[in-house]
Each structure stands twice: as structure tokens, then as C-alpha cells.
Structure 1
Amino acid sequence: MKKIINILILALCTMVVGCGDDDDAVKSPELTVISTDAQFTYKGGTGLIKVLATSAVEATAADSWCHISVSDQDISLSVDLNTSISSRTTMVTIRSANARTEVPVTQLGDTFICDLKDVTFAPAGGDATFSLDTKRDVKVTVPQWITYRKDENQIIFTAPAIQDGGYRTSTVVIDDGSVAYTAEFTQMNLNGVYDMLFTNGGKRYAALCKVESTGEANVYQLTTKGMPVDAAFLATYSEGHLVVSFGQYLGDIDPYKVYLCAYDNVGTLGWGTTVQYVAPIATDENYNMIFVFADNGTWQGQHVDGFYYGAFTGTPSSSTYKGGYGTATDIVMQTHLTESTD
């Protein structure tokens, strides 16, 4: 029995000694990657791989577009521009005296990002700037009246001033052969002199209308010469339309006050300020503007066919209405092609 106990004690001591030897053999890794900055856009740039090593390290890249430099335990990356639309990956191999590891370096393919959108240039002209993030060989298509230049990650379009009464609209395209961005560029100058064609008493007449900007954005003063009553009134530009609202005071013709009223060919007139006569902006082949006025449904139960110059003793109402000074229906304005403003 004593002999058995001695044998067990000896075996236990052997196990303890054996465990102690195994623990002494566990060592820290000789090469550990502790941080990685190795993902790049198509533009390339610099990154860094940090390692922890027990001996000097060296590093190499599998592809020439990734350049390596080593300083102590820092591995600096310098990645070239990627002109391809495809992403790419290379492996950086890091070695120490007795260890080796690999780190992937990835780079996106060239992007084509542009925020091109529709533009309406002021009559004086100006610039419109958009982002253009690409190194691809893109084709920019512009009309003759637009110029452009590229500046870093932007493209800048420039429109010159436009003459009075001018209107132009064109499509601009930025295209890389597979993806295209398009937009409509428009420029107009409503200021100027127009022929105002109208019907009165079954006959067609032509007057002149001078359009001038006011101090309020998109609001214009129209002054006529040759209409049943020559006066100034206001019109508003809105979403490609010239809008005349009724109930406007035009001045006095003693002893009455004259207001611009809506007229229906059945003989009805109205002076509500929410009633409108509207013309979309159109042009002929020479970009001369044409406005054909029409009803837009704002006169409930009636149809706006033109102007009526109403005479009133005060604010327009049935009780102050005293007749009128004539009608002008089926009104069309078009750019006056000879200079005569007064």
C-alpha cells in the first residue's frame, strides 16, 4: 500500500512539472497588425498599416498601383488614381524575422457623379455651377449661347446677357458614353416692346405694349399704346406663363375710375382679382417671344376672352359700374421687330 501511494505522489509531481513547462512555451505573436487604413476611393491617396513586431519588418505590394514605405512598425501606403470603372484589390505582404501576414488594400472604381439640373438664367446672364466628380473622359454638349469650364470637382456654365424680348432654351448633356446627365437651360428677358394684337368690334387691331421689370421679382409693368384705353397694368411671370389678373385700377377718365375687367364674348364682365388671363411663353424659329392669352378656368361659370375697360364711380361693384370704354379680346403679344417704344 505504501508503495502504491509513493507511485501516485511521483505521478502527480510529474504532471505538475509538465504543466509548468507548457506554460513557459506560450509566447506573444512575433507579428500582429494592430490597425489598418487601406480602403480608397478612385482618387487614391495615402493610408497606414500599423503593426506590432518583435523584430524589424518589411512590406511589399502585389501590384504597382500601391506604393509601400516602412518606418519602424508603420507601413505607409500611397495609392494611384484608378481611371477604370472597376474596383481593384491588392495584397500587402508584411514580414518579420520569423512571421508573415497579408493585408488587403481595396480601391473603388472611378465614379461619375453630377448634380446637373434645369436652370433659368437671369436676363443679365451669369454662372450655374454643378458638381462633377469623375476622372472619366466625358463629353459636354452645350448650345452656342452657353460656355463652360471645369474647376476641380465642378463644372461651371456661363450665359451672357440676353437682349430685351429675348427667349432661348436648350438641352445640356454631360455624357461618358454609358451614363448621361441632361438638363434644360433657359434664359429670357421679358423686357421690351411687343405688338399687342386684339379684336374689337369684330375687327383685328395692332397696338404696342412696353414690358418693364418692377422692383418685385417676376412682376412686370405693361404699358400699352393703341388699345381702347392706354394705361399701365401688371403681369406676373409664373412657371413659363405670363399671367394678367383683373380688377386692376388703370386711372381716371373723368368723371370715372377705369378698372381692367375680364370679358366673356357673351357680354359678361367681371372684376374679381382672382380671375386671370394667361399666356404660355412660346417662340418662333428666331427665338422671338409669342404670348397667346387664354382662359385658365379661374372665372367660375364664365370664360375669359379678353379685356374690358370698365368705368366705375368707386371700387368696382354692381352699384358703382357705369359702363365702359371698349373691349380687347383674343389678345396675342409678340416681339416687336422694329424699334418704336414711345
Structure 2
Amino acid sequence: MTHLPNRTIDLDGQEYLYFSGTAYLGLPHNPAFQNLIQEGLHQYGSVYGSSRNGNLQLTIYEQAEQKLASWAGADAALTLSSGMLAGQATVRQLMLEGYEFRYSPDVHPAVWHLPQVDIAKETFEHWIENTLAILQTTHQKITLVTNAVDALRGKLYGFEWIKAVPEDREVVLVVDDSHGLGITGTGGCGVWERIPKRKNVRLIVTASLAKAMGLPGGVIFSDPASLHHIRYSAYFGGCSPVAPDHLYAYVHADTLYADAYERLQVNISQFTDSIRDLNLLSFTDNYPVFYSERDELYPFLLERGIFIYSFSYPKPTDKANTRVVLSAWHTAEDIQKLSAACRDFAALYL
């Protein structure tokens, strides 16, 4: 392909409806959002070739971080040039502080402290039970690391179990919200609001901004003290910052984000109402990812002019993951065509 996917793509001269990717709010192809980026480009240029800790500071970073923190409901925010970097800056700081890491199933590599780590081969619920049991006996400094969303299977994780962490144990909870920020929570504000706050649990939420938010960067939400340590680490100081023209667009795009969120919710409702009875796709209400164990759904839909997500992730040796991903850029007619094809598949094979 020689162009960025939109609601449709062109492959070998044939047009397909595109139900893949992670541009949940459809912002990369939103003309008004592109215009804001152009405005930011004229004011700030394409990149800021300096350290955020240098002796010249651009105010757009502080403006965007204050806006992000206020929207998410967090105490403070810190931006970086990718979600991967946000995760790595976080875990590297916690390594310096002497923490051990306990990972939940399918946690994203962005928050691994090593290139390869031991990931729990159990359900998320069993991981919670085992984790709470370990916290009753261990004296290690523990960081619990998890995703906010199982985006591969369209499932949001609950966090009420945090209330069961023993009061005499101080732990850190790191949550990757890359597939939740912008589309879950009140108005898309993400996971922060639904995690119970405990005095003995230090909360750090990391996220990519390159998915729903449409920005080439990442963000860390936490308390000011934790972010201060990350901000003034050598790791952060040596990083190039997120491009300021895109942060300018973010600061001025309140209406665009709100409109896209509402359009996405309409699309989700239309699709879920039409396929809920099929037993073909697993999903969570109001979330745009629909998982299927039937990998043959991919070629079936492809023959009908519909391109969906189906490949191994995060490693090429992993089992293929087949899912339908909705975006704000889809039309009611697009959703109707997808629904009809899914119903055809179910009638033939289920």
C-alpha cells in the first residue's frame, strides 16, 4: 500500500472496507484534525530537536500535560515520544528504586523490564487471586504490571481487587492503558477513574497516544513525585520529545475528540445490536474490538470486500488473532455490510 488506511483501503486495484488497526477515533484522516496539525507545524515545526530538560522550554508541553492530566482525572501527566518509551521510562525508574515485577497475562511488552519476561499462563482472575496471596507473605518491593484492556479479545479488566491489597503492604500498580485512553471511561478519559485509590498503592498509568488519540507519542499519569523522578532521570533527559505540532493539535481539538467519540459509540451500538445473537464474536459493550476464535472469518470477509485484523501478535510465532475493529470513520452503511457478512458466515459455519 502507498497510502494510510482510512475507512477503505485499495489492494491490487480492489477496494475493501477496513475494519482493522487502532485508529479508533478516526483522527489520522480527519480533515479538521489535519488542519490543526498544520497550524502547529507552522508555529512549532515538525520536531523539537532538544531535551525536555534543556535550558529552553516550549510551553506547549506543559499545556498539553496539564490538559491530559485534568481530562484523565490524574494528579499529573508526562509526555514522551511513544507509548513504548512511556512504559520503558516507567519500569526503568522502578528498577532503580529496587522493585520486583509481577506481570499479569498478556501484558504489553512496553512495560516489560527485560526483552523477555515470565508472563502468567493463567486467567486474569486467577492471577489476581495468586497475586493477593503472594502479597500476604512476601516482603519484597513489588510492582504489579497489567493492561487496562485485553484489546486482543475486546475485554476490559476490573480493578476492584485493589481494595483487597493488604494495608501494611506498599505496592506499585502499573497499568498500560494504550487501548483504553480515548475510548473507555467517561467521555474516553481512560482507566484512571475506575481504579480504586489506596494510600499504600502507588498508581502509574502509561499509554500510547498513537491509537485513539491520533498523536505520535506516549503519556505517563501518576503523582507529581513519581513523575518528577522519571522526568529528571538520564533516560528521560536523553529522549527526544513528542512532536510539538501534534500536541498543539491536541490542545485545540476538544470538539473533534468529543464528536469522534460519539460517532464511534453509535457505530459500536449498531454493530453489537446486529450480531449479539450470533455467538461468533466476543466483545464488551461500548468497546470497538470484537474477537473471534474462528480464524477462517478473515478470508470469508476478505472475499466480500471486508478487510479485518488477523495476524500473529506480538511475536510472529504466536497464534493468529482475528478481530473486527470499528472506528469513528465508518458509516452506517459500512456497519450494515459488515453485519450482513458476519451473519452469512454464522449461517454457514455455526
The alignment's TM-score, normalised by the length of structure 2, stands at 0.19
Quick check: which one's strand share is greater? 1
Quick check: which one's helix share is greater? 2
The alignment's TM-score, normalised by the length of structure 1, stands at 0.19
